[in-house]
Amino acid sequence: MIILKSPREIALMRQAGQILAEIMERLRAFVKPGISTAEIDREVEAYLESRGAKPAFKGYRGFPATVCTSINEEVVHGIPAATRRLKEGDIIGLDLGCVVDGYYADCAFTLPIGEVPPRVQELLDVTRESLERAVAQCRPGRRIGDISHAVQEHVERHGFSVVRAFVGHGIGRELHEDPQIPNFGEPGRGPVLKPGMVLAIEPMVTMGGWEVRILPDRWTAVTQDGSLAAHFEHTVAISDNGPDILTRADQGS
Ligand code: MG
């Protein structure tokens, strides 16, 4: 069942989303060669606490950290560790979630560490663009399949692959609500979008094949073929006027 949110609920989710947007900005400066993923995790947890928000992922089905840190061939759900230090030329996916007064927001982005080859930068650019194209579909009357198709079409046109095993999701009082939002599919199919729906849209894209496997830590998903992967995510409310991105920094007035 897809739960519609009231304006009051969306306002709380926007508060959570704005905190995540602030953290994303800070991490752009903080994340650099030599830093460990555990340091990133501590930085994010301290910031959430300073803003009065709770981590969404820590303890979720036993996940042990505040941020998912997924390096290179790791697609999603990488676990921060003091022994994992970033190197020049790596890429890192950072997936962040928080809760404000019982309401969740969820976002992710992938950063290059120093210089990366042009095709790797293209992977990041195309994945981010595919999210933007998906968000543009978030209007009353469109369907979930329109979001899915927008991602798949853009990604595959550039010679990359869309991960099948993980999907976007509704979000609200729970981190994961209905509907599921695959990053592949046919336009004009699936549930119709309505004002008050809030969706976490999250393309996961690889340079090789779409197959993934889970490491023995039971969390980290890596590409089966070892190819690099990128992940971007926003929490988006469907409004009468179209998409309302709750995890994008307010531009101010
Ligand atoms: Mg998510």
User: For 173-195, what is the mean pLDDT?
Assistant: 98
| C-alpha 168 to ligand 1 mean position (Å) | 6
| C-alpha 95 to ligand 1 mean position (Å) | 8
Q: Is residue 234 part of a domain?
A: yes
Q: Is residue 35 part of a domain?
A: yes
Q: Is residue 253 part of a domain?
A: no
| C-alpha 232 to ligand 1 mean position (Å) | 9
Q: What is the 3-state secondary structure (H, E, C) of the chain?
A: CCCCCCHHHHHHHHHHHHHHHHHHHHHHHHCCCCCEHHHHHHHHHHHHHHCCCEECCCCHHHCCCCEEEEECCEEECCCCCCCCECCCCCEEEEEEEEEECCEEEEEEEEEECCCCCHHHHHHHHHHHHHHHHHHHCCCCCCEHHHHHHHHHHHHHHCCCEECCCCCEEECCCCCCEEEEECCCCCCCCCCECCCCCEEEECCEEECCCCCEEECCCCCCEEECCCCCEEECEEEEEEECCEEEECCCCCCCC
Q: Report the domain count for the chain.
A: 1
pLDDT confidence bin for 253, thresholds 50/70/90: very low
| C-alpha 252 to ligand 1 mean position (Å) | 26
Q: Is residue 252 part of a domain?
A: no
Q: Is residue 222 part of a domain?
A: yes
| C-alpha 177 to ligand 1 mean position (Å) | 10
The predicted-structure confidence for 51-107, as pLDDT tens digits, reads as follows: 999 999 999 999 999 999 999 999 999 999 999 999 999 999 999 999 999 999 999
| C-alpha 122 to ligand 1 mean position (Å) | 23
Q: Is residue 153 part of a domain?
A: yes
Domain that holds residue 60: 7-245
Put simply, whether the predicted model's pTM sits higher than 0.95 gets the answer: yes
| C-alpha 17 to ligand 1 mean position (Å) | 12
If you average pLDDT over every residue of the chain, what do you get?
97
